[in-house]
Amino acid sequence: MSILKQTRTLSNGVKIPIIGLGTWQVDNGDAAYNAVKIALKNGYRHIDTAQGYGNEKSVGQAIKDSNIPREEIFVTSKLESHIKTYDETLKAFEQTMNNLDMDVLDLFLIHAPWPWSEMGKNCDEGNVEAFKAMEKLYNEGRIRAIGVSNFSPSDIDNIIEHCSTVPHVNQIGYFIGLDQDEIDAYCKEKNILIEAYSPLAIGFALSNETIINVAKKYDVSAAQICIRYCIQKNTVPLPKSTHASRIIENANVDFTISEEDMKILNAVKGDPRKWE
Ligand code: A2P
Examine residue 227 and state whether it is found in any structural domain, yes or no: no
SS3 260: helix
pLDDT tens digits for 57-89?
999 999 999 999 999 999 999 999 999 999 999
Examine residue 210 and state whether it is found in any structural domain, yes or no: no
Cite the beta strand spans of the chain per DSSP E: 7-9, 15-17, 21-22, 46-48, 74-79, 105-110, 143-149, 169-173, 193-197, 236-238
- pLDDT (0 to 100) of residue 275: 54
Examine residue 190 and state whether it is found in any structural domain, yes or no: yes
Whole-model pTM over 0.95: yes
pLDDT tens digits for 188-246?
999 999 999 999 999 999 999 999 999 999 999 999 999 999 999 999 999 999 999 99
pLDDT tens digits for 32-57?
999 999 999 999 999 999 999 999 99
Number of structural domains the chain divides into: 1
Examine residue 223 and state whether it is found in any structural domain, yes or no: no
Residue 212: count other Cβ atoms within 10 Å of its Cβ: 14
Ligand 1 within 6 A of 239 CB?
A: yes
Examine residue 221 and state whether it is found in any structural domain, yes or no: no
Q: Which residues pair with 17 in a beta bridge?
A: 7
Ligand 1 within 6 A of 241 CB?
A: yes
Tell me how far apart the alpha carbons of residues 191 and 168 are, in angstroms, rounded to a whole number: 8
CATH of residue 103's domain is 3.20.20.100
Residue 5: count other Cβ atoms within 10 Å of its Cβ: 10
For ligand 1, atom 17, the nearest C-alpha belongs to: 203
For ligand 1, atom 22, the nearest C-alpha belongs to: 246
Q: Please state the atom number of ligand 1 nearest to the C-alpha of residue 35.
A: 2
Ligand 1 within 6 A of 157 CB?
A: no
Helices (H) and strands (E) in the chain, counts: 10, 10
Under the banding of pLDDT at 50, 70 and 90, the label for residue 179 is confident
Ligand 1 within 6 A of 23 CB?
A: no
- pLDDT (0 to 100) of residue 276: 45
Examine residue 39 and state whether it is found in any structural domain, yes or no: yes
